[in-house]
Amino acid sequence: MTIIIQNGLPFISASLNYLGKKLQFERVLLDTGSAGTVFSADKVLKIGIKAEPNDNIRELRGVGGTEFVFIKNVDRLSVGRFCINKFEI
């Protein structure tokens, strides 16, 4: 895994697999203080990840304020040579 520092923040490359589709991210913030993994809903829509009526919803709070997010399990999250199957985002 390669970590690139930009403006004092660590970024990595990662990919998601969901229902047979793969999405590559070249610049993902590695947030060591986060309790979970969050991706842009607009970006993950490209592989069919979208909010559905039965999805769990969570409220996230941070420096930028509060936001509500939907929860999905992806088939795989890959970062470099490391992979995690059935990962919650």
Q: Which residue has the tokens 């990840």?
A: 49
Amino acid identity, position 23: L
36: nearest Cα among 70, 80, 85, 5: 70
Q: What is the pTM of this model?
A: 0.85
Mean pLDDT of 8-13: 96
Decide if pLDDT at 51 tops 90.
yes
pLDDT, residue 88, reads 96
**Count of the separate structural domains present in the chain:** 1
pLDDT tens track for 17-34: 999 999 999 999 998 888
Range of the domain at 46: 4-88
